[in-house]
Amino acid sequence: MTHAPGRVRRDGHRPGPGGPRRQIGTGWSRRLQGARRPLALALLLAALAMVFTVLVPGVASAEGEAVAGTLQTSRSGPIEGVEVTVSTSDGEEIAEVKSDEDGRWSVDLPGPGEYTVEINPDDLPEGVTLSGEPSRTVTVAEGRRQPVNLGLEDGSRGSGAGGVRAIQLFVDGLRFGLLIAICAVGLSLIYGTTGLTNFAHGELVTIGAVVAWFINVDGGVPLIAAAVVAMIVGAAVGALNELGLWRPLRKRGTGLIAALVVSIGLSLLLRYLIQIVYGGRSNPYVDYQTGRSVDYGLFRMTNADLFTIIICVVVLVLVAVMLQRTKIGKAMRAVADNRDLAASSGIDVNRVILVVWMLGGSLAALGGVLLGLSDQVQWDMGFRLLLLMFAGVTLGGLGTAYGALVGSLVVGVFVQMSTLVIASDVKYVGGLLLLIVILVIRPQGILGSRARIG
């Protein structure tokens, strides 16, 4: 079909033969390509996540299953020469080992299943006793290096019962809450500025700890310098997330539910990539493998834990000053409050979101480094902390940095204090139960504003 020579288009130009058809065809082709790109990207990420979910456990199991632990108390430090026996559920003995000079022991297992780990109480030094039975039954999954806590007491304030122990647990809860907060502030800011519930945020925590471990242990660089490099890497990974994935998806109008699914796939992909690179082991930093507690009167604390609290407080204060006093901080709060109004006021929303991603990645990486000081570096440490980050963010009020801080402190203290009445192995459940109770009473969170519907 061709147009008559005298026919004029609405824009005043005469179309050439076949011209409009080619233009229309090209325009629809571009629109179709633009519409398919987010779907193709989401399907690609989901496929990669499924492949790694299926294949990576087989790769990781090449290292084999194992049980491991560290025997130490706050007063005695690492305990060497304690006999540990590992047997199957049928009573067949697998191995008998003794703790090394750092108090660590490890036994390779023939495969996944249920095993019994037993300690010889006669090998414990004077003043150190077992808090329960001398044996523990653990279930080891395929490719898993299962940590085992044998529960030692030395009569210090962190053990036993009563008000003194409560004070010790409260201090431990403050430290743990600050760690959750420094990781969760970025998660809350990302949600406030973009509306994205990022399930891959825990992997940013792990990336920071693993990068610092490689630089500190393999590179021989002091931990402080390694932590700075890890924060830079975390900021770069956050920027890569925004520029390479989330900004293109936003431009194409991807819904929040679809973005949430993509973040879950990205979390799986990154987590198993970290496991391939780092392995399933649990390792400390150089010069921070063990440490004796210092008596501060009403509680005891290692120097590493004290430095962790100081660093967290200083960094969180700096973040608060940045949000209140600086131009970019005010822009962040404006975008989180009303993105459209902020854009109409002349704020570059995309630039603000990029800075938020970089800040969130940097803070998460620092949180991972500090968490590795107390819990050692593990390939899934960020994932295990993710639910508590969500609990702190939701409890404090979605999208607010100060709400994330307050909520994380409440969750951290409650989780540690709950061990007064429940077993420490299930203490994280207490934090989630607290979240449910608070949200029933105050759905908008502690510092959140009530949303008006209708």
Residue whose structure tokens are 């300690």: 119
Q: Are residues 205 and 122 in the same domain?
A: no
Quick check: 149 pLDDT over 80? no
Q: Are residues 191 and 101 in the same domain?
A: no
114 falls within a domain: yes
Q: Are residues 225 and 294 in the same domain?
A: yes
| Residues whose CB is less than 8 angstroms from the CB of residue 123 and which lie 6 or more positions away in sequence, other chains included | 81, 82, 83, 98
Q: Are residues 201 and 83 in the same domain?
A: no
Tokens of 90: 């049928």
134 falls within a domain: yes
The CATH number linked to 196 is 1.10.3470
How far apart are alpha carbons 280 and 380 in whole angstroms? Answer: 9
Give the closest residue to 168 by CA, choosing from 149, 153, 185, 183. 153
191 falls within a domain: yes
- pLDDT in the model for residue 371: 93
Biggest CA–CA distance in the chain, Å, is: 106
Quick check: 306 pLDDT over 80? yes
Q: What is the pLDDT of residues 251-303, one digit of tens each?
A: 998 898 999 999 999 999 999 999 999 987 788 888 766 566 777 878 888 88
45 falls within a domain: no
Confidence label for 160 from pLDDT (cuts 50, 70 and 90): very low
Q: What is the pLDDT of residues 60-73, one digit of tens each?
A: 334 578 888 888 77
Inter-residue contact 232 to 221 (CB < 8 Å)? no
| Residues whose CB is less than 8 angstroms from the CB of residue 399 and which lie 6 or more positions away in sequence, other chains included | 188, 189, 191, 192, 336, 448
Give the closest residue to 283 by CA, choosing from 377, 408, 389. 377
Domain of 204? 164-441
Q: Determine the residue type at 405.
A: L
Q: Are residues 323 and 252 in the same domain?
A: yes
Q: Are residues 200 and 344 in the same domain?
A: yes
10 falls within a domain: no
- pLDDT in the model for residue 76: 67
Give the closest residue to 364 by CA, choosing from 180, 176, 173. 180
- pLDDT in the model for residue 348: 94
Quick check: 43 pLDDT over 60? no
Top-confidence range, 151-155, 273-277, 401-405: 273-277
Q: Are residues 342 and 248 in the same domain?
A: yes
Tokens of 304: 């590493």
103 falls within a domain: yes
Q: Are residues 376 and 402 in the same domain?
A: yes
Q: Are residues 169 and 99 in the same domain?
A: no
443 φ, ψ (degrees, to nearest 5): -60, -30
Measured CA to CA in angstroms, residue 311 lies from 51, 389, 412, 428 at distances of: 39, 19, 17, 24
Q: Which of 207 and 391 is assigned the larger pLDDT?
A: 207
Provide the 3-class DSSP secondary structure of residue 303: helix
User: Considering the chain, what percentage of its residues have pLDDT values greater than 90?
Assistant: 38
Q: Are residues 300 and 418 in the same domain?
A: yes
Quick check: 412 pLDDT over 80? yes
The CATH number linked to 132 is 2.60.40.10
Last residue of a domain, one of 153, 188, 210: 153
Q: Which of 215 and 105 is assigned the larger pLDDT?
A: 215
Last residue of a domain, one of 153, 181, 206: 153
pTM of the complete model beyond 0.85: no
- pLDDT in the model for residue 75: 64
71 falls within a domain: no
Top-confidence range, 123-127, 223-227, 333-337: 223-227
Measured CA to CA in angstroms, residue 392 lies from 75, 182, 189, 228, 342 at distances of: 32, 11, 13, 26, 27
Q: Are residues 148 and 185 in the same domain?
A: no
Domains in the chain, number:
2
Q: What is the pLDDT of residues 73-100, one digit of tens each?
A: 766 678 888 899 999 878 888 889 988 8
Give the closest residue to 400 by CA, choosing from 344, 335, 343, 346. 335
Last residue of a domain, one of 118, 153, 188: 153
Q: Are residues 145 and 168 in the same domain?
A: no
109 falls within a domain: yes
Quick check: 404 pLDDT over 90? no
Quick check: 42 pLDDT over 50? no
